[in-house]
Amino acid sequence: MTESSNNPSIRFAGFTDPWEQRKLGELASFGGGHTPSMADVSNYMGGKNLWVTSQDVKQHYLDSTTTMISEKGAARLTRYPAGSLVMVARSGILRHTLPVAMLRKQATVNQDIKVIQPNGLCTGAWLLHYIVAHNRNLLLEYGKTGTTVESVDFSKIKSMSLFIPSRSEQQAIGSFFSRLDDLITLHQRKYDKLVVFKKAMLEQMFPQEGESVPRIRFAGFTDPWEQRKLGELASFGGGHTPSMADVSNYMGGKNLWVTSQDVKQHYLDSTTTMISEKGAARLTRYPAGSLVMVARSGILRHTLPVAMLRKQATVNQDIKVIQPNGLCTGAWLLHYIVAHNRNLLLEYGKTGTTVESVDFSKIKSMSLFIPSRSEQQAIGSFFSRLDDLITLHQRKLELLQNIKKSLLDKMFV
């Protein structure tokens, strides 16, 4: 869309009429709510009425709430029908985004929520996606920063101008984005289920604290797992940063150079920065199959990032490299570390004055229980295939989200 145009860049076939400028107040009625007294538990006990607060508006469709209220609690509140839009008008989240959702069930709301009820001139699905498409601009224009919490000037939102198509075109647009949202939700649920499944299997297929064998094993494997030091199973290495004052260390670089910001997934085949042959000359080139672990970074407050190299790479000084030997497969060791991530961080993490780190010398001497190589291969292969499936759904999800974002930009004025 160009600034001078009253029509979007992309339209469905058959729609050519110009979009008309209207005030939001012409297209909808508005409402709000409050919090029933929490001192009176009968306002909540056995509650079956949805009661929307800011923490509930995380998706674009809403059919459940964290808190339900009783008939008594709802008695002095307006019950808004399915199809109404709920917008967060006061919350710290307004520093970043303007949450809005469509009710799929009748609901009440608290004082931090404003309700928009579209009338016959406007469909809820179209208006929902109009607000989503203009989210950032609306927040910049109508957001207010208070002394304790952010808010939006809803009185000004009610009087804002917007361009609106015919009702039939609204229905076509709203229906399209609703179906796209359903598809995104489907892939999000598949992805979430796989992540939860992987977490459960990591807990069951590696020995937990105080155990020497896992609770779940593949058929045919019955031998006890043996206790070994990590230093018996691998060799170790590190790296450094080539002088940034010498641009020839980086110019035209084709060598992967791993830093802490690159270790975000469990497999690594690209890096943010590449270095030249000159830059890599004094660094060790680690082969595919090596593990890279973040040993110094603020991220160590929360997690211990580790990944397997899928291509040869060099590393900087914040990364430690683990190269499994013949006793241990990389895929198994990768998932052992992932399975014990939190415990390893608690045991070997160090808090410095400026940045967190792990005591890698102690990690090298840590004890772990290890199965036969054939059982390692079976476990590693299982988790590698599961990781590939998770990545597939993640990419599909990201693709759909990017398609939606692009079309929101092009299908609204």
Distance, CA of 58 to CA of 148 (rounded, Å): 22
Query: Could you give the count of Cα atoms lying within 13 Å of 57 in the half-sphere of its Cβ?
Result: 30
Report pLDDT digits (tens) over 46-88: 999 999 999 999 999 999 999 999 999 999 999 999 999 999 9
For the record, the structure tokens of 218 come out as 């593949």
Candidate from 198-207, 220-229, 352-361 with smallest mean pLDDT: 352-361
DSSP state of 58: S
What mean pLDDT comes out for the span 277-288? Answer: 98
Q: Which residues contact 48 (CB under 8 A, 6 or more apart)?
A: 68, 70, 71
Distance, CA of 78 to CA of 35 (rounded, Å): 12
**CATH says 226-370 is which class?**
alpha beta
Residue 362 above 50 pLDDT? yes
What mean pLDDT comes out for the span 131-160? Answer: 91
Quickly state the pLDDT bin for 3 (edges 50, 70, 90).
very low
Q: For the chain, what is the mean pLDDT?
A: 95
Residue 134 above 60 pLDDT? yes
* Per-state percent for the chain, helix, strand, coil, to nearest 5: 40, 20, 40
Residue with tokens 């580790």: 306
Report pLDDT digits (tens) over 246-271: 999 999 999 999 999 999 999 999 99
Question: What is the model's pLDDT at position 4?
Answer: 43
Distance, CA of 367 to CA of 349 (rounded, Å): 16
Instruction: Tell me which CATH code domain 20-164 carries.
Output: 3.90.220.20
Residue 69's DSSP bridge partners are: 49
> In a 10 Å sphere around its CB, with 0-12 CB exposed, 13-18 middle and 19+ buried, how is residue 268 labelled?
buried
For the record, the structure tokens of 136 come out as 């950032």
Sort residue 46 into left (φ over 0), alpha (ψ -120 to 50) or beta: left
Q: Largest Cα–Cα distance of the chain, in whole Å?
A: 75
What mean pLDDT comes out for the span 363-377? Answer: 97
One fold for 20-164 and 166-213+371-413: no
Domain range summary for the chain, segments of one domain joined by +: 20-164, 166-213+371-413, 226-370
Within 10 angstroms of residue 399's Cβ, the number of other Cβ atoms is 12
Residue 154 above 70 pLDDT? yes
Tell me, yes or no, if the pTM score tops 0.75.
yes
166-213+371-413: CATH homologous superfamily? Bipartite methylase S protein (1.10.287.1120)
Question: What is the model's pLDDT at position 147?
Answer: 64
Residue 194 above 70 pLDDT? yes
Question: What is the model's pLDDT at position 235?
Answer: 97
